[in-house]
Structure 1
Amino acid sequence: MIRFDYKRPDAVDAAVAAGSERNAAFLAGGTNLVDLMKENVARPLEVVDINRLPLGDITEIDGGGLRLGALATNNDTAYHPIVQQHYPLLASAILAGASPQLRNAATNGGNINQRTRCYYFYDVDTPCTKRNREERCGAIGGVNRIHAILGASDKCIATHPSDMAVALAALDAEVRVTGIGGERVIPIGEYHRLPGDEPWRDNTLKPGELVTAIDLPAEHFTTNYTYLKLRDRLSYAFAIVSVAVAMRLEEGKIADVRVALGGVAHKPWRNAPAEDLLIGEAPGVEAFATAARAITEGAVGQGDNDFKIPLARKAIVRALGQAAAGTPQSQTDKRIA
């Protein structure tokens, strides 16, 4: 680990000013950043500890939505009574991730900003365009079992690791950020980036911008929802494929549905036109399979991860069935319903 300067501001403006310095990094729970620093993957010259900032509250907002403070922990969020009552999809996704100990330290802002778990990104002795812009993507033509099948580029096939972000994508959340130029609000679907020609950029934050809160809309999906996570082991493992579904039924027909995938792309993956294929349809395997094929249209495997394409389609069908039946996947008894 290299030497670095350390600052601990008490106000958001001071934190933003410090974070705008060259090669600065914000530190909250540190469950990802500290690991990256230990491995010499992240080498900030200045660490800005934001834990004194007043960003830890979870509060109701005008219009019936909910504001999640960026420094509220994942566990406090998942077990918050309003989240459990009105946003159970989000609670389920958070509880599907990491361990209780990590969730007690990890923050909401840190969760959506965590970096890929690509083997090549973590190993500084291997090529990776996310670490070094001049290098190639070692996963292309290498070991790529966990890598992207959607939205990848010839520069990077890494996937985003967050479970929480997948649920937020299905719920149409918004991310509030503050920077030198003031505050702005970013729809969650525009927050994370596909790799394109700049895979080192995970999101659309400007230098020095700080996530202050995540806003959930007033629309609730309390009955017909699920978060289905498929992984190599049943606990403390990142998704090979995950599916968040939020659905509303009226008179036996699908009136609204959102389907977000995790573990398959550089960002939580949604395909709104494919979701629209289900509107007005009666829930059923045939309709779900048609939507699954549309949602994964354009999927390309890299060899080791070819299996993800049929797996993702089957997972979408299963998750849509769980949501339609009102039998969401349990994160305690993790056998697939």
Structure 2
Amino acid sequence: MTTVDTERVPDAAVARRPARVRVLWLLAGVAVLAAAMLASVVLGSRNVAWADVWAALGGAQGTLEEAAVAKRIPRTLLAMLIGAALALSGAVMQGVTRNPLADPGILGVNMGASLAVVCGVAFLGLSSPTAYIWVAMGGAAVSAVFVYTVGSLGRGGATPLKVALAGAATSAAFASLVSAVVLPRNDIAGGFRLWQVGGVGGGSYERIGQVLPFLAAGFAICLLSARGLNSLALGDDVAAGLGERVAVVRATAALGAVVLCGASTAVAGPIAFVGLLVPHACRLLVGVDHRWLLPSTVLAGAALLTFSDVVGRVLARPQEVEVGIVTAIIGAPFFIHIVRRQKVREL
């Protein structure tokens, strides 16, 4: 086999869909995301007319409808960013571990970030949103390493079910610790109860500006890891034989996933199942090539969380159902389906 042939093996091995079909699916994702954005701006506890939307986009806030639109725009942008980040994080985690059950929520990474933020506020007196993000990323990284280490113990190494069970147990333990820290502290309990559920109701341009640099870095790292993830999909030995530095590729991609997960959790709370549901759905549409899969998960994740936020606002008017509850209702049956599949051992 020539050097040129060797370099092309990963791309040839993962080419499962014609490029035209993939492009069409990406364009469809853009259209769905645009529809979700419009629905998020128009629908809610108070529906608004298109005239109010255009007036609010021009800066007008003279009526209740225009003020509602002005408030929904940053909320919509935050929902898109968080949904895209969680979906991309899940897709990269699945690629790094070759585990179809990998998801920031299922593996306990979200709750690790949550526990770190709660402890930082309660014991260290953290008050800066930027500090929340750094602490959350650290907690997410420690949780990810801990769960993978526990899931690797025993015969067979880190099988998908063992890692998922370790993640579920760790997530439950961390959730209990979060409650133990928050409940005695009346000064922080009220705000953290809503944050723990997961939601984007507090979206603002200021909050977006604080988290955007971290998310941008995470997006860049993950998307640039696509070719390396294609090589890892062939197995560590084959990837090493093709010249990939397996440990570096895996660590770099995992870093990007942890940054996305930690930053998202810091601003929106622990939202589960987006990172599980979206990559599996996109894999059916565009195939397993990560150069196409990762961008498609970004679009689909943004659309899913934005639509879920709209459903939560419309479902219980004039109250709201937090988006974390909506995604749990959607994702839990899908998780059960994945667990029951016969080919759940590896991607």
TM over 0.5: no
Q: Which has the higher contact order (CA 8 A, sep 6+)?
A: 2
Question: Which of the pair is proportionally richer in strand?
Answer: 1
User: What TM-score do the two structures reach when normalised by structure 2?
Assistant: 0.26
Structure number with greater Rg is 2
User: What TM-score do the two structures reach when normalised by structure 1?
Assistant: 0.26
Question: Which of the pair is proportionally richer in helix?
Answer: 2
